[in-house]
Amino acid sequence: MDSVRRTLLKASLWVGGGLILGFSLPAKSATLLGAATPGPSRDEAAVTAWVRITPDNQVRLIVSQAEMGQGITTTLPAILADELGADWFRVQLETAPFSNTATAYRNPARSWMFTGNSESIESFYDLMRKTGAAAREMLTRAAAARWGVPASTCSVKGSAVIHPVSGRRLTFGEVATDAARLPIPEKPTLRASSELRLTGKSLPRVDVPPKVDGSAIFGIDFSVPGMLIGAVRTPPTIGGRIRSFDEATVRSKPGVLAVVPVLNGVAVVADTYWQARTALAAAAFDFDPGPNADLGTPAVRAAYRKALDDGPWATPVNEGDAQKALAAAANTIGSDYESPFAAHVTMEPMNCTALVTADKCEIWAPTQGQELAFVALKSVLGMRDDQISVNRTPYLGGGFGRRLLPDFVIQAALVSKAVGKPVKLIWDREEDMRRDWYRPATMVRLTAALEKDGLPAALATRVVSPTILLPVFPPVETMLKEKGFDPGAMEGMMKTPYALLNRRVDFHLLKTPIPTSVMRTTGYGPNIFALESFIDELAHSARIDPYQYRRRLLRKNPRALAVLDRAAILGEWGRPLPKGRGRGFAFTDAFGTLLAQVIEVHVEGSDVRVEHITSVVDCGRVLDPDIAASNIEGGAVFGLAYCKAELTFRDGRAEQENLNSYELPYLAETPRFRTEFINGAAKLGGIGEVSPITVPPALANAIFAASGRRIRSMPLSRHGLRFV
């Protein structure tokens, strides 16, 4: 596949951001309908599993991946439509279902249906081209047979097959039924790069028009006939339970139809959400705080620190002999870094619509994890494969990893089962934050032996973190038991782009009752915060410019050097700044993408003003420059949130349960952005999560440059600093 792609690619530098915009209005675009039926409906011919065409030439493409803001609903079907020769602005899109008869939409690299790990493009690119090309060949052969001409004399344009010599034309719809009877070609011929029209340029996003007039349907907006609404309450503490509650009061409230115990909580089902929520709020609850009633942030941090000092350790990386080099070194330097617990806070709180009867379970959820939900439902409900279908609502109000978990889906299913009717269960924000699977805090200790030239001869790394992968990828349990480390929590440390001959990485799997799992940047975020801050410290200790220091460590990596050099130019690295201002540099190789960032700050007393964030990205060929830029720039704001907000615990519960205390960045605090892509020939990489990774270290390094204060833990509020 690389050879195919390479012939398509021309290395060039491409300027992103808003410069190329100006879509004609009203914007024409493909339309996203809703969840597809598991197989084609009666009026559709399924040419492949991904392409359904009606006789009146309505071309419907299936979108396997969840749209949660990353723009995948535009880019992925555009790759397919480009190969197919469909009229993009008239295609309709449907979200892929998951059931035992609809498994074609799994991620082909993992045989598992999910949206995450920044890998949708990387994993599906070849499949989209291949399935589009296959459908094109089948439609062409069907038309050629109708005309009695060789297929090679036909071509495809605007959702029709044409025979240029005779001027004849058949729409896809006219030949779709014939085409669907043909075998699907194993190795269809892909189009030449010169024929590709939809990839490589900025398309108007499919999801934008319905998102500016309120018509986009998120999970919370979804409805089915006869649906009831549920609100839920679980104990505020982690691991708590409800001893008793005033059920009579709840039942006496208007609109209340049922009160359902569900797992560790209670759900109230009513005609409307407001009624259900009001009824729950009216009742007195007696909670048993459970075994973690004493859980609090100071003790949790002490446990981390003890583990950081004492281990025990798993050692997944041991290259060269770092311990020997460190023991022999005349000059060593070490620092500890800490990242806080963080909550996902998708703007749309968790919710799910379920219909569970004696022999059937149908789900409509804003989920990233259709197959994990399917597997979990099968087990919880004791049903067979053929009794369960998990549909995705058209839009997800943010995901960030939270919606990979099936907990809210299971809860809705159990409530529906109890009342025997379709139920939409909606969490309030407090429930959403209490019952999150947080990004765990981590502590990282880095120790380097320095050569005379100031470069590291050895690097020893200790990482203390709970698991993040286990809740979303149960097979990792064996690895945790046998090898003692979580590869997700080790991201950014297992491999490094830097030239380091002696490198040892120790990992301590911290046990904590606090639920933890994946969140945008996964292990890369906390680990690269530590590593890139430490590189900055090493550079200053060696009295070498931090950008130049990284250049030396990457001297054998021309691709990385190109990214670094461009970021330095675009970020005005080295240009003198007035007192109180400074720039910080950070670099990462994550999710298959290289990114260098320069952040410029103004520090005045306790006020930190982020002035500019410059990002230079090499994710291979850029399939949609504007969508890519939005991921990088929005991602940087997400990265700022990791520097601003912190989740703490006291008396067994999260201290921040809503947005008045968990303080996310505001528009007023948002810097200016400069974003560029090296539109190069490298393998396609992910862009959804890479930008938030480098923001905390680049910011900390900038604050050091501006003020001389070294920030080794986040958020900034721990250091008496605040964003302005």
Residues in 622-681 that interact with other proteins by CB under 8 A: 626-627, 630, 633-638, 640-641, 658-660, 664-668, 670, 672-673
Q: Which of 572, 590, 592, 625 minimizes the C-alpha distance to 12?
A: 625
* x-or-dash string of contact with other proteins, 416-445, rule CB under 8 A: ----------x-xx----------------
Alpha-carbon distance of 30 to 90, in angstroms, equals: 6
27 binds other proteins (CB under 8 A): yes
CB-CB contact of 311 with 506 (8 Å): yes
CB-wise, 228 or 283, nearer to other proteins? 228
Shortest Cβ 574–other proteins spacing (Å)? 25
Smallest separation, CB 229 to other proteins (Å): 8
Beta-carbon contacts of residue 3 (< 8 Å; ≥ 6 apart): none
- State how beta strands 581-590 and 388-392 pair: unpaired
The correct pick among 16, 132, 200, 204 for binding other proteins (CB under 8 A) is 204
Q: Does 602 sit near other proteins (CB under 8 A)?
A: no
Q: Shortest distance, CB of residue 632 to other proteins, whole angstroms?
A: 10
Q: Which is nearer to other proteins, 174 or 428 (CB)?
A: 428
Would you say 72 or 463 has its CB closer to other proteins?
A: 72
| Cβ at position 263, least distance to other proteins in Å | 23
Residues 118-177 that bind other proteins (CB under 8 A): none
Q: How far is the CB of 604 from other proteins (least distance, A)?
A: 17
Nearer to other proteins, 29 or 496 (CB): 29
For the chain, how are helix, strand and coil distributed in percent, rounded to 5?
Answer: 35, 25, 40
Sheet holding 45-48, edge to edge: 31-35, 92-95, 59-63, 51-53, 45-48
Q: Is 207 in the site for other proteins (CB under 8 A)?
A: yes
Read off the tokens for 153: 């004399």
* Binding test (CB under 8 A) with other proteins, winner from 149, 217, 227, 500: 217
Secondary structure element (H or E) that encloses residue 560, with its range: helix 558-570
Binding segment for other proteins (CB under 8 A), chosen from 197-205, 415-423, 441-449, 471-479, is 197-205
Q: Are 314 and 467 in contact (CB under 8 A)?
A: no
In sequence order, what E strands does 382-471 have?
A: 388-392, 423-426, 442-450, 456-465
Choose the binding region for other proteins from 45-53, 389-397, 465-473, 558-566 (rule: CB under 8 A).
Answer: 389-397
- Kindly tell me which of 27 and 383 has the beta carbon lying closer to other proteins: 27
- Give 101 or 658: the residue with its C-beta nearer to other proteins: 658
Q: Measured in whole angstroms, how far is the alpha carbon of residue 541 from the centre of its chain?
A: 36
Nearest to 465 by CA among 495, 443, 496: 443
Positions in 232-261 near other proteins (CB under 8 A):
254
Cα–Cα distance measured from residue 239 to residue 264, given in angstroms and rounded to the nearest whole number:
8
Among 209, 311, 454, 513, binds other proteins (CB under 8 A): 209
Q: Which range of residues in 24-32, 164-172, 415-423, 679-687 is near other proteins by CB under 8 A?
A: 24-32
Q: 429 vs 68, 210, 365, 397, CA distance in Å?
A: 18, 25, 17, 13
| Alpha-carbon dihedral sign for residues 114, 117, 120, 123 | negative
Tokens, residue 48: 């492949």
Contacts of 186 (CB under 8 A, 6+ apart): none
Residue 696 near residue 580 (C-beta atoms within 8 A) = no
Closest approach, Cβ 214 to other proteins, in A, equals 2
Nearer to other proteins, 229 or 531 (CB): 229
- Least distance between other proteins and beta carbon 253 (Å): 10
CB of residue 201 to other proteins, shortest distance in Å = 13
Considering only residues 261-290, where is the footprint of other proteins by CB under 8 A?
A: 272-274, 278
Q: Is 282 exposed, middle or buried (0-12, 13-18, 19+ CB in 10 A)?
A: middle
Residue 98 CB, shortest distance to other proteins, in Å, is 21
Q: Which CB atom, from 69 or from 422, has the smaller least distance to other proteins?
A: 69
Binders of other proteins: how many residues, by CB under 8 A? 71
Q: Segment 335-354, which members bind other proteins (CB under 8 A)? A: 345-349
Site for other proteins in 392-411 (CB under 8 A): 395-400
Considering the rule CB under 8 A, would residue 373 count as an interface residue with other proteins?
A: no
User: Residue 582 interacts with other proteins (CB under 8 A)?
Assistant: no
Question: Minimum Å distance from CB 343 to other proteins?
Answer: 11
Footprint on residues 441-460 left by other proteins (CB under 8 A): none
398-413 burial, b if ≥16 CB within 10 A, otherwise e?
A: bbbbbbbbbbbbbbbb
What is the Cα–Cα distance from 166 to 24, expressed in whole angstroms? 35
Q: Which of residues 529-568 bind other proteins (CB under 8 A)?
A: none
Q: CA-CA distance, 45 to 38, in Å (whole number)?
A: 13
Q: Smallest distance from the beta carbon of 721 to other proteins, in angstroms?
A: 20
Q: How far is the CB of 32 from other proteins (least distance, A)?
A: 12
User: What is the closest distance, in whole angstroms, from the C-beta atom of residue 646 to other proteins in the complex?
Assistant: 16
- Part of the chain binding other proteins (CB under 8 A), chosen from 23-31, 33-41, 157-165, 490-498: 23-31
CA separation for the pair 305, 298 (Å, rounded):
10
Task: Write the DSSP symbol of residue 238.
Answer: T
Q: By CB under 8 A, what part of segment 69-108 binds other proteins?
A: 69-71
Q: Which is nearer to other proteins, 20 or 184 (CB)?
A: 20
Residue 184's Cβ-count burial label (10 Å; 0-12, 13-18, 19+) is middle
Q: How far is the CB of 588 from other proteins (least distance, A)?
A: 18
Task: Select the residue interacting with other proteins from 211, 243, 306, 324 (CB under 8 A).
Answer: 211
- Which residue shows structure tokens 């905390």? 696
Q: How far is CA 48 from CA 90, 136, 138, 152, 386, in A?
A: 19, 10, 9, 21, 22
